[in-house]
């Protein structure tokens, strides 16, 4: 509202937007209270992050959630990768999220112990590009905590996009008690970005459980000899040099690719492979620190 004169402005009783500001403050306070209430019901929050894309971070998140749920833990998986969500595909989720009677989003129930929320489950067209700036992404992440009926959980796994920008920062600010798990591949190009992730964790005071080295080696299906597609040992060396725990090394297996495309993570399948055995070690190393 624009006043015609100084006198009319004085008679207006204050700033015309003051009421809206009060409403906004009340809304923010309500959201903060809802976030605290939701997080109070979740024992452990694990934030899977990486400074580089293409290292298999979402695959690690999906298999970590699957493994924990299979062990009997009540587990939630929250995909906050706005522009490239893949968790829904990896877990075979195709339907939109439902809303409860008290107007909360209901996570998709994968099995008796695993619930999942992904931005992709809010889109009618899964191929539609989400063209959002920072504030919209920040608001969505907060709503995935405050406006989702997670219930009582032993673990909430958070899968964020690569980098150290809006999404990871919002996760840390919204869930300050989260514990980081950093995913890398062994080659120096990836490790250079991972060192930035480690710097990010230290800067924002995010406690880090350790580093997972993914796609560490591949056995030739013909001669059974190991092939280091992305070099080897870089993850463990980086963990040692940075004073972090090395959680384990995961081999490259074509079945992991197939399982992601089919919507059934490897850790849900009753097959013992080099990957599943290595992943069990990673999970045990995580659980030891909690």
Q: What is the pLDDT of residue 230?
A: 65
Nearest to 243 by CA among 277, 271, 202, 204: 202
Give the residue with greater pLDDT, 217 vs 171.
171
Is the pLDDT assigned to residue 226 strictly greater than 80? no
Burial 76-93 (b: 16+ CB within 10 A, else e): bbbbbbbeebbbbbbbeb
Q: How confident is the model at residue 5 (pLDDT cuts 50, 70, 90)?
A: very low
Both tokens of 27, joined, read: 């809304």
Is the pLDDT assigned to residue 14 strictly greater than 70? no
Edge-to-edge strand list for the sheet holding 75-79: 108-109, 114-118, 75-79, 153-159, 42-49, 179-184, 208-213, 246-249
Q: What is the pLDDT of residue 265?
A: 93
47-100 pLDDT, tens per residue? Answer: 999 988 888 899 999 999 999 999 999 999 999 988 888 898 999 888 888 888
Q: What is the pLDDT of residue 175?
A: 95
Q: What percent of the chain has pLDDT above 90?
A: 53
Is the pLDDT assigned to residue 16 strictly greater than 80? no
Give the residue with greater pLDDT, 98 vs 225.
98
Q: How confident is the model at residue 231 (pLDDT cuts 50, 70, 90)?
A: low
Q: Over the chain, what is the mean pLDDT?
A: 86
- Give the residues across from 226 on adjacent strands: 219
pTM score, two decimals?
A: 0.87
């Amino acid at each position: 509202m624009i006043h015609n004169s100084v006198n009319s402005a004085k008679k207006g009783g204050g700033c015309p937007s003051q009421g809206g500001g009060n409403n906004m403050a009340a809304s923010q306070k309500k959201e903060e209270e809802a976030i605290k209430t939701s997080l109070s019901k979740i024992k452990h929050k694990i934030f899977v992050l990486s400074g580089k894309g293409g290292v298999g971070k979402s695959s690690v998140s999906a298999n970590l959630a699957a493994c924990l749920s299979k062990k009997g833990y009540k587990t939630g998986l929250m995909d906050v990768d706005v522009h490239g969500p893949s968790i829904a595909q990896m877990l075979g989720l195709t339907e939109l999220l439902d809303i409860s009677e008290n107007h909360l989003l209901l996570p998709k129930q994968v099995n008796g112990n695993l619930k999942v929320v992904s931005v992709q489950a809010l889109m009618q067209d899964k191929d539609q590009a989400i063209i959002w700036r920072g504030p919209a992404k920040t608001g969505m992440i907060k709503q995935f905590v405050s406006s989702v009926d997670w219930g009582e959980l032993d673990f909430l796994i958070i899968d964020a996009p690569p980098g150290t920008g809006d999404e990871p920062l919002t996760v840390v600010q919204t869930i300050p008690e989260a514990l980081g798990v950093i995913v890398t591949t062994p080659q120096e190009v990836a490790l250079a970005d991972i060192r930035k992730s480690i710097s990010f964790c230290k800067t924002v005071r995010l406690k880090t459980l350790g580093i997972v080295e993914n796609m560490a080696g591949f056995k030739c299906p013909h001669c059974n000899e190991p092939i280091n597609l992305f070099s080897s040992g870089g993850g463990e060396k980086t963990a040692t040099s940075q004073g972090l725990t090395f959680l384990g090394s995961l081999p490259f297996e074509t079945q992991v690719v197939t399982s992601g495309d089919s919507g059934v993570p490897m850790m849900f399948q009753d097959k013992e492979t080099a990957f599943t055995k290595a992943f069990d070690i990673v999970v045990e190393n995580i659980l030891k620190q909690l």
